[in-house]
Amino acid sequence: MNSVSEGADLPEYQAVTVTPKNNRQELVIFGVTAVLIIVADQITKYWAQQYLLPRMASGEGPVELLGGFLKFTYAENSGAAFSMGTGITWVFTLIALGVVGVIFKYARKLGSTPWALALGGLLGGSVGNLIDRMFRAPGPFQGFVVDFIQLPYWAIFNVADMAVVTSGISIAVLLFKGFGIDGSRAKS
């Protein structure tokens, strides 16, 4: 027996189709940001190898700017931040590959320009250093990263490192302020 009596007035339900927001603009921003950072990173690393490496080898030392506050000093980093983990470069390469995969997974959900910039920066920085680890000596998964920017009391870094740190801070701020990757805003 049917639990609903015949002829009872039942509400009508309509099928609702939810279409995802067109995120083409955010994907373009994401991609362009990543590519610009990768290009800037690789060009500046090339410059460092062509100009700073011979300068350091000849004993001239770093290029000093702003009264020595900013120095351009050539360094080859086979470890992670602050040269930690030297000798296990392959681990950092695998981690970077995983990070790139996660970034692409989340990029599909982009619906926010600030998130597109932050994820694009994170991707660009990750790929910039990943290129070094994959294609520089001594070989794939073991290559060193070229670092050349030095501030007082800080490790030597590069453009990719700046992008990763800036993007990490941006992502933390977006999360703290309740901005969703899809463009939604958490209610206070």
On the 0-12 / 13-18 / 19+ scale of CB atoms within 10 A, 121 is: buried
Question: Crossing angle, helix 24-47 and helix 159-176, to 10 degrees?
Answer: 150
Provide CB contacts within 8 A for 99, sequence distance 6+. 122, 126
Selecting among 9, 41, 161, 182, the annotated active-site residue is: 161
Q: Check residue 119 and report its DSSP letter.
A: H
Residues forming beta bridges with residue 75, ordered by sequence position: 147
Q: Which residue bears the tokens 């933390």?
A: 172
Selecting among 9, 41, 132, 147, the annotated active-site residue is: 147
State yes or no: is 41 an active-site residue: no
State yes or no: is 161 an active-site residue: yes
Query: Which is nearest to 131 in space by CA: 44, 31, 40, 38?
Result: 38
Q: Which residue numbers are catalytic?
A: 147, 161
